[in-house]
Amino acid sequence: MIAAGEDTKEQIDRILRSETLHSSDGLRRLLKFLADKSLSGEDDQLKEYTIGIDAFGKPASYDPRHDSTVRIQAGRLRQKLSEYYQTEGKDDPIIVELPKGRYKLNWQPRARIEDEAFHSPSFRDEIVATASGKRRILFAVSACLIAVSAWAVYTTIRLYQERQSTAVFHSQWSPEVATLWAPFVNSERPLVIAISAPLFLDLQGLGIFRDENINHPEDIPKSAAIAAVEKALHIRPPEPIIYYGTQGGANASFRLGRLLAPRKANVSLINSHELSWRQVSESNVIFIGSPRFFSQQLGNMPVKTELFLDPGVGIRNLNPKGQESGTFIDDNNRQTGIAYTLVSHTPGPLGSTDVISFSGRNSIGVAGAVAWFTEPASAKELLARLRKPSGDLPRYYQVLLKVRFQDGFPFETSYVLHRELHTPGS
């Protein structure tokens, strides 16, 4: 680690002001505390107990063995620093890191390679493509889940951009598909594809664990089940892992990226835990996956919905019409059966952006719904059903779809019902 200078202090301030940490007051507070101690040479005081007391205002009775707040926040800060240097800070002169298992910050000047060939865009793209390809192979052979890599999908999107002149490219973008996606493609606002990322727990020395009742890092200390495991096995509180997604989510994001990115320059892919309130307010957003991971972002949309997904039951129909059912429950064993998926197109929280969510209890059903919204034949059917007697299409709507799948593959998707949504005063 190089000695701290004014440039290092400026780098810390740059990160503190970044969009990456904009919505994370706790992480900014932690980074500033660690930076102040490290820059002043007081790193020997950076103990978990001290950080809990001085940075997070814990009482003197704070016991790190029973309260994992500091470890959880430190893990999130490491992830955010990595994200920052992949996006906003990709050209910053100094790299700031928080090594795993430690609380002392490290900083190093960014490596400079003078070879002009290395700095060429084509060479860098080749490096990114190669690394992403290796990650995709690793994720594909995973026994349980597929890790959703934003860079891997982004690289795939770039490959498809080169195929814009092909007949297949143009045939997929039918007039009906173009009409469905016009609010997202024709807007000058950025488009964010947000994939649900289930929270996993790293039980030290025992492996990775998923508790479906814990969906946010701050919920870990509140879990009686986790506390019981810690006590029974005599282990430290687990650390959160938010790098994994579902096979259906990866499939859906790939399909959307392939369709939309060649027609819109500012498209990005992130996981649900990284999505800030500011992004939802200023960008058009496509949500993919269970709403339990988007509850904070989807809770304040300025529109009253008639269909909603109850994660513990299924999709509820608040105002059944005619012979419609009041509840639609999946019939499957995870790999084979029927899954219902709800697609909701609403205004953003400030009313000036567009948000569409593909949500269901089964990720394969969600992938089937995304495919249905991107295929010319089904898009044509959907517009015919949505169109009002006047010939106009509703600005906002909800659509319920039924997806049949076999061995994890959606082979038939059909329309069930829809509702037009109205904003206050419309």
Tell me the pLDDT tens digit for each residue of 224-265: 877 887 788 777 777 877 767 777 888 888 899 889 988 888
Same domain, residue pair 192 and 208: no
The residue that leads in pLDDT, 391 or 57, is 391
Smallest Cα–Cα separation from 191: which of 302, 20, 353? 353
The pLDDT tens digits of the residues spanning 189-217 come to: 999 998 887 778 887 777 777 777 777 77
What's the average model confidence in pLDDT over 43-61?
81
Same domain, residue pair 415 and 311: yes
- With a CB cutoff of 8 Å and minimum separation 6, the contacts of 118 are 124
- Determine the pLDDT at residue 176: 94
- With a CB cutoff of 8 Å and minimum separation 6, the contacts of 113 are 119
CB 279 within 8 A of CB 192: yes
- Determine the pLDDT at residue 412: 94
* Domain termination site, one of 183, 213, 241: 241
Same domain, residue pair 265 and 172: yes
Host domain of residue 92: 6-109
191: three-class secondary structure by DSSP: strand
Same domain, residue pair 209 and 327: no
What's the average model confidence in pLDDT over 18-24?
82
**Most confidently modeled of 99-108, 143-152, 327-336, 397-406?**
397-406
* Domain termination site, one of 84, 109, 134: 109
Instruction: Flag whether pLDDT at 381 surpasses 80.
Output: yes
Smallest Cα–Cα separation from 421: which of 289, 297, 305? 305
| The pairing of beta strand 314-317 with beta strand 331-332 | unpaired
The pLDDT tens digits of the residues spanning 136-169 come to: 433 333 433 444 444 445 445 554 454 444 554 5
37: three-class secondary structure by DSSP: helix
Alpha helix ranges (H) inside 207-317: 224-233, 247-260, 277-282, 295-298
282: three-class secondary structure by DSSP: helix
What's the average model confidence in pLDDT over 122-128?
43
* Domain termination site, one of 109, 135, 168: 109
For 19, 157, 272, the CA distances from 216, given in Å and listed in that order, are 21, 29, 10
187: three-class secondary structure by DSSP: coil
* Percent of the chain topping pLDDT 70: 81
**Rounded to a whole number, what is the distance in angstroms from the first to the last CA of the chain?**
60
- Determine the pLDDT at residue 329: 93
Same domain, residue pair 162 and 52: no
- The alpha carbon of 82 is separated from its chain's Cα centroid by a whole number of angstroms, namely 15
Q: Within a domain: residue 127?
A: no
The pLDDT tens digits of the residues spanning 331-362 come to: 877 678 999 999 999 998 888 899 999 998 88
- Determine the pLDDT at residue 46: 78
Same domain, residue pair 337 and 260: yes
What letter represents residue 61's amino acid? S
305: three-class secondary structure by DSSP: coil
- Determine the pLDDT at residue 419: 95
Cα–Cα distance for residue pair 327/310, rounded to 1 Å: 10
CB 367 within 8 A of CB 340: no
Same domain, residue pair 225 and 324: no
Number of domains the chain is built from: 3
Q: Within a domain: residue 143?
A: no
Question: Exposure string (b/e) for 321-353, b if CB count within 10 Å is 16 or more?
Answer: eeeeeeebebebeeeebbbbbbbbbbbbbeeeb
- Determine the pLDDT at residue 293: 67
Same domain, residue pair 336 and 266: yes
Q: Within a domain: residue 338?
A: yes
Supply φ then ψ for residue 240, to 5 degrees.
-75, 145
Instruction: Flag whether pLDDT at 116 surpasses 50.
Output: no
CB 97 within 8 A of CB 107: yes
Q: Average pLDDT of the chain?
A: 79
Instruction: Flag whether pLDDT at 380 surpasses 80.
Output: yes
Cα–Cα distance for residue pair 23/347, rounded to 1 Å: 21
Same domain, residue pair 171 and 212: no
Cα–Cα distance for residue pair 77/73, rounded to 1 Å: 6
Own/partner long-range contacts of 18-22 (Cβ < 8 Å, ≥24 apart): 18/84, 18/88, 18/89, 19/88, 19/276, 19/278, 20/80, 20/83, 20/84, 20/87, 20/88, 21/80, 21/84, 22/276, 22/278
For 46, 238, 344, 386, the CA distances from 359, given in Å and listed in that order, are 43, 28, 8, 19
* pLDDT band for position 132 (cuts 50, 70, 90): very low
Number of neighbours of residue 239 by Cβ within 10 angstroms: 20
The residue that leads in pLDDT, 390 or 78, is 390
The pLDDT tens digits of the residues spanning 257-315 come to: 889 988 888 888 888 777 777 788 889 999 998 777 665 556 667 788 889 888 778 99
Between CA 327 and CA 330, with CA 329 as vertex, the angle to 5 degrees is 160
* Percent of the chain topping pLDDT 90: 25
Same domain, residue pair 259 and 372: yes
Residue where the block lists tokens 């298992």: 101
CB 184 within 8 A of CB 260: yes
